Amino acid sequence: MAQWLKDNSSDSDIVISTRARIARNVSGIPFPHKIRNTDKEELVKRPAIQKFCSNGSDFILKEMKDLSQNERNALVEQHVISRDLVGRDDGAVITSPDGSISIMLMEEDHYRIQYLTGGFNPEEAYQVAGNVEKMLGSSVSYAYNDRFGYLTACPTNLGTGLRIGVMMHLKGHVLSNNIKDLQSGLGRLGLTIRGAYGEGSTPIADCYQISNQVTLGISEQEIVQNIRQFVGRLINQERDVRNILYKNNKLELEDSVYRAYGILKNAKKMSSDEANRYLSTLSFGVSLGIMKPCRETDIYRLMIETMPATLRREAETAIERDIRRAEIIQKVID
């Protein structure tokens, strides 16, 4: 669970993770919505499965039809698969043992290749995802057009098919009521801000995903450079906002951080919403040096590992999960 989070992650006071996702389709085969429940599905799946799940490989194949609804939801919570793949009984995912690499099959596109790493590292994310894309490309021919680049089911992914997403803890902007202004400003830069699980999702624990909007008419290297530049600037802005808030509201902020810590450390049961709210506040306090009962990466890991579907594997009822959630948190924070 959340094994891709690294303790030495770059800019981990603000950034939880960086994800590179590449959309690809097989040349000569219609997009997934046109071939569902036909023999052509196997023409998409088979090359990827043979490439990554044979000859002693430690990659793991998970067919959606073989997973329960809760198992599917847990993979979403851990950012291994998309919410869209959850409802695809004909879909599948191939993952590395730590979940950092995943290849979604028969989602919106034939292949969604993803690499996820802790902290802010768009260069590494693109390099690893690109290497996986090339490995798969040695077994299939990708749909490509000289004018539009790589062809995708949704026109917004045409061109490179590459999206770099950075998950950020924007507590300072939330407390300052600056999220709407930030959304407008990012749009002018060709970026978008979304909830924790992408398009149509809501933020969790004041965490938002920042990604590029444009994939056509721009190279992969330019996408990576733009993310490095603009998100790097946003990281500094978030730090500045936090410092100003602390300077102007020292007592109130320290009180809220210590209250959050007290509840997290002593509660006998805790809902998912409560945990996310207090963990967000505790992370904010750690970044400002108010207290340090654990590392930021420990807090981010707790946010993921105490989500409802992930916890349901070991606690069936809601009250059992609330009790278990409190126990897990208290084992991590000092």
pLDDT tens for each residue of 72-129 = 999 999 999 999 999 999 999 999 999 999 999 999 999 999 999 999 999 999 999 9
Using alpha carbons only, what angle is made at residue 234 by residues 213 and 255, rounded to the nearest 5 degrees?
130
Phi, psi of 164 (to 5 degrees): -105, 120
Rounded mean pLDDT, 236-264: 97
Q: Flag whether the pTM goes above 0.85.
A: yes
Question: How much is the pLDDT for 186?
Answer: 86
Q: From 41, 78, 85, 43, select the one nearest 64 (Cα to Cα).
A: 85
What's the CA gap between 241 and 177, in Å, rounded?
A: 11
Q: What is the full DSSP assignment across 61-87? A: EEEGGGS-HHHHHHHHHTTSS-HHHHT
Please, which pLDDT band fits residue 197 given cuts at 50, 70 and 90? confident
Rounded mean pLDDT, 220-247: 96
Q: Where are the alpha helices (DSSP H) in the chain?
A: 32-35, 40-52, 69-77, 83-86, 122-137, 171-175, 179-188, 220-248, 250-266, 272-287, 296-305, 308-311, 318-332
The residues, any chain, with a CB within 8 Å of residue 75's CB and separated by 6 or more, are: 62, 67, 81, 86, 93
Percentage of the chain lying above the pLDDT 70 cut = 99
- Summarised one tens digit per residue, pLDDT across range 132-167 is 999 999 999 999 999 999 999 999 999 999 999 999
Domain 15-240 has CATH 2.40.50.100: no
More confident residue, 54 or 272: 272
**Which residue ranges does the chain devote to CATH 3.30.590.10?**
15-240
For the four alpha carbons of 252, 264, 174 and 120, in that order, the dihedral sign comes to: positive
